[in-house]
Amino acid sequence: MSILRPGDEKFHYSDGSHRWIPPDPEYDQEVWDEQVRQHKHGHLRNERPTARLQRLV
């Protein structure tokens, strides 16, 4: 599970999925794509497992 920080809302829809189309139709799509890519990379850097796997013997 990733951590949402203040300001992340613009990169997500209400269901938590990532917004690949900029909210402003005048916004440069290539710039937006790069911002979303960096945003997703931030999720990966901050990702921590929420449960530990245990081997059953």
DSSP secondary structure letters along 27-47 = S-HHHHHHHHHHHHHHHHHH-
Report domain extents, the chain. 8-44
| Residue 26 banded pLDDT, cuts 50, 70, 90 | very high
CA distances from 8 to 42, 47, 48, 57 (A): 10, 15, 18, 42
> Which has more confidence, 47 or 13?
13
pLDDT at 21 over 90: yes
